C-alpha cells in the first residue's frame, strides 16, 4: 500500500482546487503553525508542513515563539489567529516546553480551525460519530484503506496501541465505519491469539519489528504506524519481510502511513477553508 | 451481582456524608432536573431522581417547561442554573421535543455541573483517560465490577452495543482500566466466536434474551444492561437461566445494573458538590 503515491495524488488534486480559486481571485486557504522554542525535530516537522502548503498553493505562516514565552502570550497569539478571517487552520507544534500548559493551549483553539483534531469538541465528535476534524494519522489510515478498497464493515480489526493520537482515534474511526474493533495494549494477555483472528491489524506501539510471523495466520491487511530508528535505518512496528506473504495488503515503512499524515493535514486545512467559506464540512 | 443492594449501601454512605454536612450547617448538595413536556415515562424518571435525592438528603428541584417552550427559554434556564451557586448538578431529561436542539442544550451546560456526563468536555475527558463526569450507567457497571472484585486488567472484555450512552463509554472505561476491549454490534460477523473467548461480557443492545448458551463457554462475568418488556415482564438482553451456570458472576434484570444508574447520578452530584466546594474531583 503506497502511501507516498496516494499522498502525492491527493496533493495534485488539492493543487487543482487551489489553482481554480486563484483563477477566480478567491481567497486562498491558509495554515498557521505555531512553534515554541528551538527543538530541531520540531523545526523540521514545522518546515515540512510549510513546504507541503507551498506544494499545493496554500498560504502558510510559521510563528516562532521563544522557548521561554509565557502562557499568556501563547494564548493571546491563538486568540488573535482565531479571529483572523484570513486564517483557516491553526496548529501548535507539540510538545511545547514544560512550563506551558499544553492542554489549555489546545483548548484555546477555535474548534473550527483545529486542523490537528485535538480540541475536546473534535474529540467528542469523533467519539459520537459526528463530523469534525480528525487527527491526521488515523485519518490517513482510513484513507489508505478506502483507496485500496479494504472493506472494514463487520470485519474484525485489531488495533495495537491506545494512544490519544493514533490507537484510540483509529479504533473509533473503524468502529464508526462498522468494523468490529479490538483494542490491545501492553497489558493485553494472549495478544497473538487475537491478532491471529484479525482480518485487519493496525500496529501503533512504537516498537521495532514487534509484530512477527507467529502473530498472523492470514490477514487481509496490516497497517504499520511505527517509525523506529534501528542502526540509523527507519523500521516499522511490523516485521515486513516475515509477513508480506501472509497478507493481501500491507503498508511499508517508510512510504506507508507516514506520507499520508501531512496529506491529511492539508486536507483538513482545505476542509476548514470550505467551512469558513460557508460550505458544509 | 446485586446492584440493588450495592446501590442501597452507596446511598446509605452518601446519606451519612450529607448528615455530617447538615450538622456542620454546611451547604447541602443540590440537583436540578429540567423536564420539557409531559411524556409520562420521562415524568416517572424525573420523579425517581428527585426521590433518590430525598433519600440521601440532597436538595432537588424539578423545573417543568411546557412542551412548546422555545430553545431560547431552555438555554436561558440553563444559563441561570449554571450561575446559581446553590446548584451543583444540572440534568436535562432526554429526549426533548423535536423542535428543540438537544445537542445545543447539552452543550450549554456548565461541564462542571453536567452530572449526566454528556457535555463534549466530559466525553473528551473519558476518551483521553482524564477525570470528568462519566455517564451514570457505564459508571455503575464499573462500580459493580469493582465491588465484586472482578479484575479487568489484561482481561478480554467483549462489549455488545456501541451507543453513546452505554456501549462506547463502558468500552472506554474498561480500556482505561487496562482491559483488552472488543466492541461488537449489529454488523459484527461471527459474534459467538468472540463472546466465547471473552472473560467479561457486557450486553447493551436492547434485545430480549439475545445472549444465549451457545454464545458462552465459560465467562468470569456477564453484565446485562438490557431492560426489555416481554409479556409485561422485565427481561434483560441475556438469557439468565441458560447462562447462570457458565459464569462466576452475572447481573440479574431487574436488580442488576438498573438500580446502580440512579446511585451513580447521586454520586456524580456529590462529586460536583465537592468540586464546587474546592475539593478535587
**How confident is the prediction for chain A on average, in pLDDT?**
97
Residue A207: per-residue pLDDT: 97
Give the three-state DSSP class for A100: coil
CATH topology classification for B14-110: Rossmann fold (3.40.50)
pLDDT at A164 exceeding the cut of 80: yes
Among 3.40.50.1370, 3.10.180.10, 3.40.50.10860, 3.30.70.20, name the CATH number for the domain at A18-112.
Answer: 3.40.50.10860
Is A178–B187 a contact, with Cβ atoms under 8 angstroms apart?
yes
- Give the closest residue to A91 by CA, choosing from A144, A21, A33, A41: A33
pLDDT at A156 exceeding the cut of 90: yes
Interface residue A162 vs chain B (CB under 8 A):
yes
pLDDT at A23 exceeding the cut of 70: yes
Average pLDDT over residues A75-97: 98
Please report residues of A whose CB lies closer than 8 A to that of B164.
127-129
Please report residues of B whose CB lies closer than 8 A to that of A178.
185, 187
Is there a contact between B195 and B216 (Cβ–Cβ < 8 Å)?
yes
Catalytic residue among A88, A110, A114, A116: A116
| CA–CA dist A45, A91 (Å, integer) | 12
Q: Which of A155, A175, A190 sits opposite B162 (nearest CB)?
A: A175
Report residue B247's pLDDT band, with 50, 70 and 90 as the boundaries: very high
Q: Is A179 exposed, middle or buried (0-12, 13-18, 19+ CB in 10 A)?
A: buried
Interface residue A185 vs chain B (CB under 8 A):
yes
Average pLDDT over residues B16-41: 97
Residue A191: per-residue pLDDT: 97
pLDDT at A264 exceeding the cut of 50: yes
How many residues would you count in chain B? 281
Same fold for the domain at B14-110 and the one at B136-258? yes
Residue A83 is a catalytic residue: no
Is there a contact between A201 and A221 (Cβ–Cβ < 8 Å)?
yes
Q: Is A57 exposed, middle or buried (0-12, 13-18, 19+ CB in 10 A)?
A: middle
Give the three-state DSSP class for B20: helix
| CA–CA dist A18, A193 (Å, integer) | 48
- Give the closest residue to A28 by CA, choosing from A280, A276, A279, A281: A276
Is there a contact between A114 and A95 (Cβ–Cβ < 8 Å)?
no
For residue range B50-62, what is the model confidence (pLDDT) as tens digits? 999 999 999 999 9
For residue range B169-227, what is the model confidence (pLDDT) as tens digits? 999 999 999 999 999 999 999 999 999 999 999 999 999 999 999 999 999 999 999 99
CATH number of B136-258: 3.40.50.720
Residue A278: per-residue pLDDT: 87
| Opening angle at CA B240, ends B239 and B242, nearest 5 | 70
Query: Looking at CA atoms only, how far is residue A109 from chain B in angstroms?
Result: 14
Is there a contact between B33 and B63 (Cβ–Cβ < 8 Å)?
yes
| CA–CA dist B113, B119 (Å, integer) | 10
Residue A280: per-residue pLDDT: 53
For residue range B107-137, what is the model confidence (pLDDT) as tens digits? 999 999 999 999 999 999 999 999 999 999 9
Positions of B marked catalytic: 49, 93, 116
| CA–CA dist B271, A94 (Å, integer) | 32
Work out the number of other CB atoms within 10 angstroms of the CB of residue A147. Answer: 16
End-to-end Cα, chain B, rounded Å = 28
Is there a contact between B261 and B240 (Cβ–Cβ < 8 Å)?
no
- State the count of interchain CB pairs (< 8 A) between A and B: 91
pLDDT at B281 exceeding the cut of 50: no
Please report residues of A whose CB lies closer than 8 A to that of B127.
123-124, 126-127, 164, 168, 172
| CA–CA dist A24, A26 (Å, integer) | 5
Query: Looking at CA atoms only, how far is residue A167 from chain B in angstroms?
Result: 11
DSSP state of B96: P
Interface residue B173 vs chain A (CB under 8 A):
no
**How confident is the prediction for chain B on average, in pLDDT?**
97
Report residue A217's pLDDT band, with 50, 70 and 90 as the boundaries: very high
For residue range A226-235, what is the model confidence (pLDDT) as tens digits? 999 999 999 9
Please list the alpha-helical segments (H only) found in B2-68.
Answer: 3-23, 40-56
Domain map (residue ranges) of chain A: 18-112, 136-258
What is this model's ipTM? 0.95
Average pLDDT over residues A88-107: 97
Residue A281: per-residue pLDDT: 47
CA distances from B166 to A127, A258, B41, B111, B233 (A): 12, 35, 20, 19, 23
pLDDT at B279 exceeding the cut of 80: no
pLDDT at A80 exceeding the cut of 60: yes
What cell does B236 get?
Answer: 434483560
Nearest CA in chain A to B182: A182
Average pLDDT over residues B54-72: 98
Phi, psi angles (nearest 5°) of residue A33: -110, 130
Give the three-state DSSP class for A172: helix
Report residue B47's pLDDT band, with 50, 70 and 90 as the boundaries: very high
Residue B280: per-residue pLDDT: 52
Q: Is B194 exposed, middle or buried (0-12, 13-18, 19+ CB in 10 A)?
A: buried
Is there a contact between A60 and A30 (Cβ–Cβ < 8 Å)?
yes
> Taken in order A73, A75, A81, A84, is the CA torsion positive or negative?
negative
Residues 196-225 in A contacting B (C-alpha not used; CB under 8 Å): 197
Nearest CA in chain A to B120: A124
| CA–CA dist B253, B240 (Å, integer) | 9
Q: Which of B120, B129, B182 sits opposite A181 (nearest CB)?
A: B182
| CA–CA dist B110, B87 (Å, integer) | 11
Phi, psi angles (nearest 5°) of residue A87: -105, 125
pLDDT at B69 exceeding the cut of 50: yes
Amino acid at each position: 500500500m503506497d502511501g507516498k503515491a496516494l499522498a502525492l495524488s491527493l496533493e495534485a488534486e488539492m493543487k487543482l482546487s487551489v489553482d481554480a480559486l486563484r483563477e477566480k481571485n478567491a481567497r486562498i486557504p491558509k495554515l498557521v503553525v505555531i512553534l515554541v522554542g528551538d527543538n530541531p525535530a520540531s523545526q523540521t516537522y514545522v518546515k515540512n508542513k510549510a513546504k507541503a502548503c507551498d506544494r499545493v498553493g496554500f498560504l502558510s505562516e510559521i510563528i516562532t515563539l521563544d522557548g521561554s514565552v509565557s502562557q499568556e502570550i501563547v494564548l493571546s497569539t491563538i486568540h488573535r489567529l482565531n479571529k483572523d478571517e484570513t486564517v483557516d487552520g491553526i496548529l501548535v507544534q507539540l510538545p511545547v516546553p514544560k512550563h506551558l500548559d499544553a492542554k489549555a493551549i489546545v483548548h484555546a483553539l477555535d474548534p473550527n480551525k483545529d486542523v490537528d483534531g485535538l480540541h475536546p469538541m473534535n474529540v467528542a465528535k469523533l467519539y459520537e460519530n459526528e463530523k469534525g476534524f480528525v487527527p491526521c494519522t488515523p485519518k490517513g489510515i482510513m484513507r489508505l484503506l478506502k483507496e485500496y478498497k479494504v472493506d472494514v464493515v463487520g470485519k474484525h480489526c485489531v488495533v495495537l496501541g491506545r494512544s490519544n493520537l493514533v490507537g484510540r482515534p483509529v479504533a473509533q474511526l473503524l468502529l464508526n465505519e462498522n468494523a468490529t474493533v479490538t483494542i490491545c495494549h501492553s497489558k493485553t494477555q494472549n495478544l497473538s491469539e487475537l491478532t491471529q483472528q484479525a482480518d485487519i491489524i493496525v500496529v501503533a506501539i512504537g516498537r521495532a519489528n514487534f509484530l512477527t510471523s507467529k502473530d498472523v495466520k492470514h490477514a487481509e491487511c496490516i497497517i504499520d504506524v511505527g517509525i523506529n530508528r534501528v542502526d540509523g535505518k527507519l523500521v516499522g512496528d511490523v516485521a515486513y519481510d516475515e509477513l508480506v506473504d501472509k497478507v493481501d495488503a500491507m503498508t511499508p515503512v517508510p512510504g506507508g502511513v507516514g506520507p499520508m499524515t501531512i496529506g491529511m493535514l492539508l486536507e483538513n486545512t482545505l476542509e476548514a477553508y470550505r467551512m469558513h467559506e460557508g460550505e458544509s464540512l
